[in-house]
Amino acid sequence: MPARISVPVVVGTRPEAIKLLPVIQALAASAYYEPLVVSTGQHHAMVQDILDLAGFAPEVILWSGGRQANLNARVASVMERFEDFCAERFEVHAGRTPTEEEVLQGRFPAAVIVHGDTSSAMAAALSAFHMQIPVMHVEAGLRTDDIRSPFPEELNRQVIGRTAAMHFAPTVTNLQNLVRENVPAERIYVTGNTGIDALLWASTLDMTFHDTRLQALYESDRRIVVVTAHRRENWGAGLEGIAEGVAGLAALHPDVHFVLPVHPNPQVEEVLAGRLSDLDNVLLIAPLGYATFSKLLGRCHLVLTDSGGIQEEAPSLGKPVLVMRETTERSEGVTAGTLRLVGTDPALIVEEGRRLLEDPVAYAGMSQAENPYGDGRAAERIVAALEHLLIGGSAPVPFGPGYDRAAVGRAAGPQFASLTSARGVPAASSDGVAPIVPEDASV
């Protein structure tokens, strides 16, 4: 059995768990890497529900910040507790440069994988950087270029972008965003989005709805509109506008049923329930598990959302998406025609929703547009790239542009620079070049 090298994968929120689960599965299947799932504890129960779908459990739970913790407290807690975990689990101390031997023997993390743009992901990336652990950023390069929208996610992903040695960008547009920020293209690998991998996998699971009202609706022939609304920047007036827009659509289309899983945050729940709970064709339900939500997404006719990931996932199932935000970092979907940005203006939500519910040509134009976000093989590419960084050989085939092995090695630090260059294996080396492997590993 070959030695397997440890890679902590930091998971803080339910969306992170969804999009990192395919990566964890692919790492677990690797002959060279062992995933160590690190839960920050932020959304512990929801994260565990996702991991349970594939039989994984966290190596450690950091319990970083309660539900009401402010952003500064959460960032500080994740940074400190992640460093404590690394110090206990590995021979890691902030500021100390590890050796190649320590990495190959599993005494120092080969890398830390973080996803997206949460404050916990940013904190873990910064903590890893201080410990000289290479940061690998999944879903890199999303940008609105306004650090206050979405808040605080836009700044978080820019900070992670400055610390990361390797950027796994879902699309070519994401790559271009990074290049404009002077990230070398040689350290960016376009993979597609792991959220598509997760959705296609979850859609194969046999699940039923615990809510009998929803199960009955699912089995009926009524059109369903799925609504999700919870973004921090929409709290207050934004959520009020969304609720008013949904109410207006529901009044115009009593034959359509609107299903809204309500986020448990009181600032969200009070606004949405206060305006929508008395409407006959609006069903407010508790948040769904990932697999059951995937099933609902496949059944619905249209999606109204202020979420990020759903903007990529729903079009892969042929569902038009109206984005109830003022800005979106998923500009490729807007360009491709799978998404339409409507903001939180109730009049615009009603206008665009009504058009898609009443005009079959307009609906077909969005539902049949090609989804630019992936083909379900992003996690496979990510782990293939990590293996290539370690053992050399042929570079994996990208979803878009590739990367340069030596450039990533130099950015990752001395321990990786030696692996990727000192023994003479060139970047993106061809077949026939002797791979670099741990002494007790086999190829």
The residues carrying an active-site annotation are 117, 139, 153, 230, 232, 263
408: helix, coil or strand? helix
Rounded to a whole number of angstroms, the CA Rg of the chain reads 22
**Apex CA 7: angle with CA 3 and CA 8, to 5°?**
140
Distances 7 to 24, 84, 156 between C-alpha atoms, Å:
10, 16, 22
CB–CB of 382/22 below 8 Å?
no
Element (H, E) at 80: helix 71-89
Please name which of 113, 127, 145, 183 lies closest in space to residue 401, comparing C-alpha atoms: 183
* Spatial separation of the C-alpha atoms in residues 343 and 20, rounded to whole Å: 28
* Spatial separation of the C-alpha atoms in residues 79 and 130, rounded to whole Å: 10
CB atoms within 10 A of CB 351: 14
* Spatial separation of the C-alpha atoms in residues 339 and 319, rounded to whole Å: 9
* Spatial separation of the C-alpha atoms in residues 237 and 365, rounded to whole Å: 31
For the chain, percent helix, then strand, then coil, each to nearest 5? 45, 10, 40
CB–CB of 376/204 below 8 Å?
no
115: helix, coil or strand? strand
Write out the E strands in 120-204. Answer: 135-138, 166-169, 188-190
DSSP 50-71: HHHTTT---SEE---S-TT--H
CB–CB of 322/304 below 8 Å?
yes
